[in-house]
Amino acid sequence: MTASNDRRIPSRTRQPKSRRLRFLQILLGVIVLAPAFLTAAPVPSVKADGLSDALAEQQRLSQLIARQKAQLAKLSSQQLSLAKQISTTQQNLSGVLASLDEAQAQVASIAAELTSARARYGSLAGQESLLTVQLAEVTAERDAKQSELDRRRQILASRLVEAYVTDQTPTLQQMLTAHSLTEALSDVSYYGDMAEADKALATQIQQDEKELAALQKTVSMAEDAAHQMTAQAAVEKTTLDTQAQQLAASETQLEDLKTTYEKQLASLQDSQGKLNQNKTALDAAITSNGKALDQLGTKIDSYIRQQGGQGRIPSQYNGTFKWPMSGIITQEFGCTGVSSEPRVGNCAHFHQGIDIAAACGTPVYAAGPGVVVFAAYNPYDAPPRAWLVIIAHSTSIVTWYAHMQGRAPAGIYVGAHVAAGQLVGLEASTGHSTGCHLHWAVRVNGVFTNPRLFL
């Protein structure tokens, strides 16, 4: 489109100087879109499938983000389930366990679930890295497209200036009356004054703008997804670490309980072995254990009747009981293989309470509200004597707490009213005991009854 320097425009088309200056100012404003002119740069070829590629990239990114969100949702759901399992297991370990094997199975199940959750998080972290890579790629592609568009605009701006310099005023006037550069370029395509190369360049700029818009949308989508994914992944990582710590604490607690149980079991087996070797000592132990309980029980029943008659102990108890201590049940109520227990009914050896073992010094609490009717060493025991606390919940229902440390906590004395959950002593191994544990018994109308019936 360049013209020789001596070309002259007919007077009927020549514009006033002030109007030509205004054209020049507008053209210069167009030129400011870029930092420099590339007047000599060739016109890039039009890439017809560029927009399709940009839209396809959007679709691929959307699918990746959807997969990541689904993966994150599964991980969150798995962690909620894991949190419930951990909570249940911790409650079991902090409460009363009837079976170490069951607790071990629960902890093993949690460990397997946590391993699965960690693997799912690892997959999520890998997808997060992939998203970061794709974000970098599409950002680079967008920047390249922006540079390419700027360069084409610079070329076209240079040609507009050149057209003005060569006094192609009518064409310029048509362009400068348009509302935007894109509109002007579209209009210009209908005029023969602009070369085919310029028409192709105008078309390419329009195509570039569409591609750039699509790429910008993809970049924004990837940035938002990356930021959200990073934040959520950090939360899930913190949750996993916390759950791992909770699992480790549960495993430690379980090991402590197993150690306590094994020590007591070994001590019990040792004691039973010695008694079995000496039948006289075994018979004496059986007689002593049975008489001590019966004699103390008879005394306590008499005292309760007296206090009940004076209105100091209620006649009825309508509530339920709570476990007085956390730990492992080492011996249930009923017939037992422990040969030192006395005969009751058809059982040669009968355990008249529930034994709960935990670390020495574990707090023991009142299973329900009532009145303390005994807090001392059992006077009917053959030495060594057991320290125990007995609470009357009514004139017919009484709970016993035996083998505790030989001193009463504040507020525990005969005649004192106690609330459910109030501290009544600390677990120990006083009396004829094979290790630290609590012997918890419930006596109803003078007969020892299974405590589980009242829980």
- Please, which pLDDT band fits residue 1 given cuts at 50, 70 and 90? very low
What mean pLDDT value characterizes the chain? 77
CA nearest neighbour of 127 among 67, 177, 77, 80: 67
Confidence at residue 408, expressed as pLDDT on a 0 to 100 scale:
94
- Judged against a pLDDT cut of 70, whether residue 114 lies above it is answered with yes
Which of residues 319 and 368 earns the better pLDDT score? 368
C-alpha 242, offset from chain centre: 7
- Judged against a pLDDT cut of 80, whether residue 34 lies above it is answered with no
- Please, which pLDDT band fits residue 107 given cuts at 50, 70 and 90? confident
Q: Cβ of 177: how many Cβ atoms within 10 Å?
A: 10
Q: Is the peptide bond before 384 cis (omega within 30 degrees of 0)?
A: yes
- Please, which pLDDT band fits residue 35 given cuts at 50, 70 and 90? very low
Concatenating the DSSP letter of every residue in 247-302 gives HHHHHHHHHHHHHHHHHHHHHHHHHHHHHHH-HHHHHHHHHHHHHHHHHHHHHHHH
Q: Among 88-102, 164-178, 240-254, 316-330, whose mean pLDDT is lowest? A: 164-178
Interatomic CA distance for residues 424 and 374, integer angstroms = 11
- Kindly give, in sequence order, each residue whose CB lies less than 8 Å from that of residue 60, ignoring residues fewer than 6 positions away: none
> What is the tens place of the pLDDT at every residue in 146-185?
888 888 888 877 876 766 665 444 555 555 566 565 656 5
- Please, which pLDDT band fits residue 273 given cuts at 50, 70 and 90? low
Q: Is the dihedral of CA 17, 21, 24, 26 positive or negative?
A: negative
> What is the tens place of the pLDDT at every residue in 345-403?
788 888 889 999 888 999 999 999 999 999 999 888 878 889 999 999 999 999 999 99
CATH 1.10.10 is held by the domain 17-258: no
> What is the tens place of the pLDDT at every residue in 66-104?
777 777 777 778 778 778 888 777 777 777 877 777 888
Confidence at residue 152, expressed as pLDDT on a 0 to 100 scale:
82
Domain ranges of the chain: 17-258, 278-454
CB 367 within 8 A of CB 440: yes
- Please, which pLDDT band fits residue 279 given cuts at 50, 70 and 90? low
- Judged against a pLDDT cut of 70, whether residue 430 lies above it is answered with yes
The pTM of the full predicted model, rounded to 2 decimals, is: 0.57
Interatomic CA distance for residues 256 and 258, integer angstroms = 5
- The predicted model gives 113-134 an average pLDDT of 79
- Judged against a pLDDT cut of 90, whether residue 227 lies above it is answered with no
Highest mean pLDDT: which of 228-237, 249-258, 431-440? 431-440
- The predicted model gives 231-255 an average pLDDT of 83
Q: What percentage of the chain reaches a pLDDT higher than 90?
A: 21
Interatomic CA distance for residues 96 and 93, integer angstroms = 7
- Judged against a pLDDT cut of 70, whether residue 271 lies above it is answered with no
Radius of gyration (Cα) for the chain, nearest Å? 45
- The predicted model gives 109-126 an average pLDDT of 81
Concatenating the DSSP letter of every residue in 14-67 gives PPPHHHHHHHHHHHHHHHTTSSS--TTPPPPPP-TTHHHHHHHHHHHHHHHHHH
Which of residues 199 and 311 earns the better pLDDT score? 311
Assigned fold of 278-454: Glucose Permease (Domain IIA) (2.70.70)
Strand partners, 425: 364
> What is the tens place of the pLDDT at every residue in 42-66?
444 444 467 787 777 778 777 777 7
Interatomic CA distance for residues 44 and 152, integer angstroms = 8
